[in-house]
Amino acid sequence: MRLLRSTVARAVLLGASFALATPALSPEQSALARPAPDSFADLAAKLLPAVVNVSSSQTITAKNGGPGAGPEMPMFPPGSPFEQFFKDFLNRNRPGQGGNGGDNPPPPRRAQSLGSGFIVDSSGYVVTNNHVIEGADEVSVTLQDNTTLKADIVGRDESGDIALLKVKSDKPLPTVDFGDSSQSRVGDWVLAIGNPFGLGGTVTAGIVSARGRDIHQGQYDDFIQTDAAINRGNSGGPLFNMNGQVIGINTAIFSPSGGSIGIGFSIPSNMAKNTVAQLKQYGHARRGWLGVKIQQVTPDIAESLGLKDASGAMVAGITDGGPAEKAKIHSGDVILKFDGQDVKEMHNLPRIVADAVVGKDVPVVLWRDGKEMTVQTVLAERPADDQLASADATKPADATKPTAISGLGLKIAPVSQDLKDKFQLQDTQKGVVITDVSPNTPAAERGLKPGDVIMEVQQGEVTSPDDVRKQVDAARKADRKFVLMLIQREGGVQYVPLSLSKAPAGKDKQPG
């Protein structure tokens, strides 16, 4: 299956199901069960006027398509009567084929895409998906009564796929309100209204199929899944609860063919309404930023740190001058809670931090040195370039002969000018350099290789082979199954747990 996020957008349809036999429910089950609505007509009539069609257009020139590129097909809804007409027309007028003649470039032309949106303010603010209007130089909004209004782009959030538009009207416009998406439960009825395939206002229904879906479209993924079919043309349209509140923005589908199979995804309203407010006030999304690089806490890492469960987000790097550094959060800390919310796994943390208010003083619960501790940090706004600064460097130690670390399959040496030249290390490199790795050893199994640099062992900074040996020996004496090392290589820094159970101290075979 493939994930579709077409600039033509998508819609939501109902696949009805019927029970052939209804088993008897207990009194407790009966109290929880809710009957299906007799009709959605009254609710739909109330909501339809606030849902709009969004049309965006862009000028396409020969330069956009590259040298020798011919005209491209405008983005019509599949099945449109204009589709075949334009296909035949453009085939006759490609460079070197009739109309334009030889090497003459085709004239500029307009490409159009269609989507949906909804009005959240009677003065004319309209919410839609960013991918509906991305790259557009003209955007228009069509109301339910077929009135078409020119729209200005107030702000766009590419990473969250949300855009805010503004239209001018001589009268107040009908609106809908955001609801609390956290209160929506799996199995709740939902209603969707949008512009599937350019047909205009269309009402469909379904249920919430799942919550908190990560579909790998970005680090803030937290989608509501619905069995209401989302088709092309419905992107940016609202997903309503039975109180008529917007709990989601319909955005994407899984599909093997481009059509709906009942697996659609909506951006939760609790995420969207914060972004919309920021777009209205600042013109861009202001997300909280902690200034850390993180990695998943694996069972091996958890065991090496004395953590009961493999949960939380492990800090693998700190941005210079960022909120985490100011709060004295260290590399090797495991973030267990942020602002009162549990960090069950690494991927939870970016969403929680991003949703926090910039400038807010928040508590962060850490696991450090075998126990929990809490620090306070003041969140900054995430930088536009999303790049983390490199860690501060210290002077390297003097060069010495490589030292074997028993049981791990490593030979290591302090940083020297020769090793800097050999492995192309930075002049300010700190740590201990791996000079050799034996095959079929814990180090080899974890992918360590010559030129990698050991920065820490068991969360303690190391500057010499003796530091490494002492930390490894201490881990063995503590009956640890793994020893945790912070490794720096070309791709960045990462914590790597090495098994201590493969061979007893002093018994491993080292390279000659």
DSSP assignment string, 106-148: PPPEEEEEEEEEEEEETTTEEEE-HHHHTT-SEEEEE-TTS-E
Q: Say how far apart CA 388 and CA 319 lie, in whole Å.
A: 5
Other CB atoms within 10 A of residue 46 CB: 13
Give bridge partners of residue 443 from the DSSP assignment: none
Is residue 379 within 8 A of residue 353, CB to CB? The reply is yes
**Amino acid type, 320:** D
Which domains, from first to last, does the chain contain? 1-14+39-60+114-285 (2.40.10.120), 62-107 (no CATH), 288-381 (2.30.42.10), 403-499 (2.30.42.10)
**Mean pLDDT, 10 residues at a time, over the chain (512 residues)?**
42 31 48 70 90 83 48 48 54 52 59 84 93 87 91 89 92 93 88 79 84 66 79 84 91 68 81 90 88 88 89 88 91 91 85 85 92 92 54 36 85 86 84 90 90 91 89 88 90 88 43 34
Tokens of 460: 């303690």
pLDDT at 103: 55
Please tell me the distance from the alpha carbon of residue 408 to that of residue 471, in angstroms, as a whole number.
13
- Return the active site residues: 131, 161, 235
Q: Are 339 and 309 in contact (CB under 8 A)?
A: no
Of 276, 270, 355, 306, the residue nearest 117 (C-alpha): 276
- Cβ atoms within 10 Å of 36's Cβ, excluding its own: 10
The answer to whether 135 and 96 have CB atoms below 8 angstroms apart is no
Residues 436, 450 contacting (CB under 8 angstroms): yes
Q: Per the structure block, which two tokens stand in for 476?
A: 């063995």
**Rounded to two decimals, what is the model's pTM?**
0.59
